[in-house]
A and B are shown apart, each in its own frame.
Chain A
């Protein structure tokens, strides 16, 4: 009997994975791992570092032995070596390097997304519209949302740097967690299967839970993390139940198939609508639609401020992408059932968010409630359920991401100055003393209020227009009313900064904007102005994205 090698006997079946479909996530994930490895470097961490090297080397060897591939095991081995070299040479924990590497990874990912876009928009599809055994969709919604998420993550890196330093919570896990959260969001945005939806939702949630509680010694941070975790688990369970019901109806978790099954005549309608309701709860929780919003102010307040900005912006974008794909895309035929439900949620979200924001005194809570109201505006495009609607929502979320990251960025600068939460009365005289950061905050707030000339106005215009076209008059009127109420509190902050007198007992303080902070804020402000004056290019991209939505 000839001796058959072990590998041949076991018949390793390597699934033919169209790597191109999830290449952005691979790059991002790889960067995360790399940064994590890097963080074990440092003279006092020889043991951890050696372990990490062994793991990398072992992984590389195993990979080569099992698949015969050369490229990626070699890369892994190289990374291990580099990390070992760093350990030997680097004096301190290489935080600058981590931050830089993370930023570079995100930029590289953006490059990959651009490549995908080029291939997709050029008519030359990447294998199919969907990849990974129909698990992942490669379409405009996914690509545009990736851009939004990545931009938010990219900007929050320089914005967060000095904040984390000052609060002494600049620990190793920060950047990898940020990157993993972004991976989860990107995957959620491109999920084509309800199980994939659930998995990516958990990936991003777990990373965010930890990030929320990142300020270990701060009670509010701990409280926020715990609340977020408990309620997140609760809503995940509801979502999972909805997925189970969907599976019961369709016999599959593939989203288009579920959509078809829900619309099919022989499906028990009651079962179908309950499944939809439960799915909506899951996403409404992540996007903070009323009444699933109650965690937002607490969590936003507790989380380290740069994290809050990222969380508010990117999570919303990802969850709305899932909303769009599942409801506008797959369940378009069942519009009659889910539009009234989402309509109700959006209407009360806009009103409650705006009214509650007015009475807040803590700036972070105020921005938290304002985030709630903005989720309502973004939902208008979803409810319109048209191409304009999809592109409007995508564009709105991108704009909101920039405004929100910017506003929270300025806030983190202020908190650094005060070493505690910032209330509106703390801002008195801020504008006179520091006109540039105060002016930037004003710009972000005006944009959030939707004043023409800023990106926020264009975003509102896009979704409102879609709503009007789809005949959702009442909803648009509610939105206009809500944004009118909202103007009150944005203006209140601006007035406090520029028109109120500085309190006499205010101790003198210095505001030292680091280069990273200045660059991040300047970039956000520039985007707001450019998109406000000349938004055509980006709106075009959103339209394109909506055109090849799955």
Chain B
């Protein structure tokens, strides 16, 4: 067996002048300009607004593809290319160039973001038809794509962070797009706030990186990773994990994602499938040289991932909203990706990111198509039997369902198995494999439930929704579905060449593994493991069992669901009420924050006042002049000044007693 896989070298080249890589800065700029144009004069463009937006993202997609082929033409060790655009900040010894980093990792992300983004743009033509803010919607879509592209192309922590924040901001705009409904605005705020918590982690990590290495550029920081003191590296790794957990909706920061469902369906597809939520996975993979020096932190990432996967899968089993189910399934699948990148199997993680990008976008768009037909109904119990009425949506959803359920030979099978296989070797990770296998069964179960309730069985909608006459969606919506279905079905081939169909996990023979290898530093060696084939068989069997269970519960006649729920009792409630996490956060964090604020206010307004009233008349002269006023007493303010002076003097004297510095 030949092992000629290139490894991470830490060498970054320059692009050839005039090549697509050299001009790659246009990839985010064109959609950004288009967004600006649409915001300014979009209303006057009318329906042509969509064409402008699609042209812009189409340009990015084509440019990304050309850049990708150029990258393929380069020798393996020279595939990390930095293309300087402009000097952004130059202050003394602190210099941040605005450069673009294209390497295999960025290239596959580019392809995913631009092509899936393009399909979602096309789909939106039909979906947003007749909306009064048609052009505004496309402007936001463009803006979002541009932000994500800035993130992916960033060559330093700082430029990546700019994209990171812009993505958060534009997702805030997109989720809140239909802001007439209050819940949407609240969901948008929640998404923003949770993401800010993650951003704090990112910022502090960034400062740590800077103080440890004196630079923020990946080309300088990552090669120096082994020299970073291990304590600092642990801190950086954990802080970046917080950041990634915020963006990628992992425990404990996953609460925003299901609520973000409130946005229009194409937005759900764009955010939950192709772009924003994958940013955290991308970040962890991007800084893999740092995680490689502290594998224990990587193991933490993986455990967080598997815990999230389990929790979200359990919740997804009982939800009665076709978009909510998909949202929790996204959280769960992101957990799988975290297992992959956390265990040092970054290729597997990114592979799953890609296949998930296909099938989750497909499923969301299919859900949108169903809602389009059902007058925006989201309860699957009111659907059923849509197979005949919506044949294209049905057929494409079938492929998406098979892919996410992890049944061979569809794409999800390959990527999921590759991740789980990676959990077999490292010490302390076998538990991850066990839980991950259970999650695979749960995934197959809830996705089958989703699929069966919508498309198979009796036509419940005839009684439940009397006025609704479902119909297939227009071609602009079904075409993206078909293309994504092809990706969902065949995406597994990305990392499985004909020669390797039986040994698809072997990095030597697969395309993605050898292509991505120069970008990432795997840890936990890739020693061949003995029970791989049995392990794969077990996982697949569990998945099949999940499908069978769903069939038994939801397709057989005569199952009394109400009785079943009652028999499950607390377990059902726990899952249905989403383990009360939202309530828990509300009770602790929100109220706690309010309480803190109230305490401060009380201090400002009452304690000081009361103290003045109690202590007496020291500043009474002021008080008589100030008199009672609208909001507070001058004397209490004066007392605060006096108290502050004493406090300051005390600090000074304390420092003095502690020895002079």
Contact = CB atoms under 8 A, between A and B. Distances in A.
Contacts of A107: none
B3 interface: no
Given A223-B629, A337-B655, A480 B200 contact: yes
B211 A341 contact: no
B348 to A, nearest CB: 32
Nearest to B635: A230
A539 B94 CA distance: 11
Interface in A399-438: none
A234 B634 CA distance: 11
Contacts of B652: 273-274, 276-277, 337-338, 340-341
A285 B648 CA distance: 13
Given A273-B649, A465-B207, A491-B193, A359 B601 contact: yes
Given A281-B648, A501-B180, A336 B655 contact: yes
A355 B596 contact: yes
B91 A500 contact: no
Contacts, number: 182
Contact of A543 (B92, B162, B172, B210): B92
Contact of B626 (A226, A292, A492): A226
B90 A476 contact: no
A266 to B, nearest CB: 14
A315 to B, nearest CB: 17
A220 interface: yes
Interface in B234-249: none
B584 interface: no
Nearest to A285: B641
Contact of B597 (A337, A355, A492, A536): A355
Contacts of A359: 594, 597-598, 601
A234 B622 contact: yes
B166 interface: yes
Contacts of A269: 656, 660
A230 B625 CA distance: 9
Given A277-B645, A280-B648, A452 B162 contact: yes
Interface in A251-282: 269-270, 273-274, 276-278, 280-281
Contacts of B199: 484
A220 B88 contact: no
| Main SS at interface, chain B | helix
Given A355-B600, A500-B185, A476 B207 contact: yes
A464 B622 CA distance: 40
Contacts of B634: 226-227, 230-231
A539 B638 contact: no
Nearest to A481: B200
Contacts of B647: 291, 344
Interface in A186-207: none
Contact of B601 (A356, A453, A534, A535): A356
A114 interface: no
Interface residues of A, number: 74
Contacts of A238: 641, 645
A298 interface: yes
B166 A477 contact: no
A525 to B, nearest CB: 15
Contacts of A341: 648, 651-652, 655
B170 to A, nearest CB: 11
Given A273-B652, A295-B637, A356 B92 contact: no
B169 interface: yes
A334 B661 CA distance: 9
Interface in B486-544: none
Interface string B593-614: 1101110110010001000000
A139 interface: no
B211 A468 contact: yes
B196 A487 contact: yes
Contacts of A491: 172, 189, 192-193
B572 interface: no
A235 B593 CA distance: 32
Contact of B640 (A292, A451, A484): A292
Interface in A501-550: 501, 534-536, 539-540, 543
Contact of B188 (A273, A495, A543): A495
B89 interface: yes
Contact of A468 (B184, B207, B632): B207
A79 interface: no
A534 B88 contact: yes
Contacts of B598: 359
A485 B630 CA distance: 27
Contacts of A500: 182, 185
B2 interface: no
Contact of B644 (A274, A281, A356, A488): A281
B4 interface: no
B632 A294 contact: yes
Contacts of A220: 630
Contacts of B661: 335-337
A345 interface: yes
A58 to B, nearest CB: 39
Given A230-B634, A499-B176, A465 B643 contact: no
Contacts of B211: 468-469
A116 B648 CA distance: 38
B210 A465 contact: yes
B141 to A, nearest CB: 18
B33 interface: no
Given A276-B652, A481-B200, A498-B179, A291 B162 contact: no
Contacts of A227: 626, 629, 634, 637
Interface string B564-601: 00000000000000000000000000000110111011
Contacts of B636: 294
A477 to B, nearest CB: 6
Interface string B192-220: 11001101100110010011000000000
Nearest to A357: B597
A465 B94 contact: yes
B575 to A, nearest CB: 31
B594 to A, nearest CB: 8
Contacts of A485: 593
Contacts of B640: 291-292, 294
Nearest to B91: A539
Contacts of B185: 495, 499-500
The CB with the most chain A CB atoms within 10 A, among B165, B180, B608, B648, is that of: B648
Nearest to B195: A487
A388 B653 CA distance: 29
Give the top 3 A-B pairs by smallest Cβ distance, nearest first: A336-B661, A499-B185, A499-B179
Given A273-B649, A464-B203, 19 more contacts: A238-B641, A238-B645, A278-B649, A280-B648, A292-B640, A294-B608, A294-B632, A336-B661, A338-B652, A340-B652, A340-B654, A341-B651, A344-B647, A355-B593, A359-B598, A453-B166, A480-B203, A487-B193, A495-B189
26 contacts: A223-B630, A230-B634, A231-B634, A238-B645, A274-B653, A277-B645, A280-B648, A281-B641, A291-B643, A294-B640, A298-B629, A341-B651, A341-B655, A344-B647, A359-B601, A391-B91, A452-B162, A453-B162, A487-B196, A491-B172, A491-B193, A499-B179, A499-B185, A500-B182, A535-B89, A543-B91
Interface of B: 87-92, 94, 161-162, 165-166, 169, 172, 176, 179-180, 182, 184-185, 188-189, 192-193, 196-197, 199-200, 203-204, 207, 210-211, 593-594, 596-598, 600-601, 604, 608, 622, 625-626, 629-632, 634, 636-638, 640-641, 643-645, 647-649, 651-656, 660-661
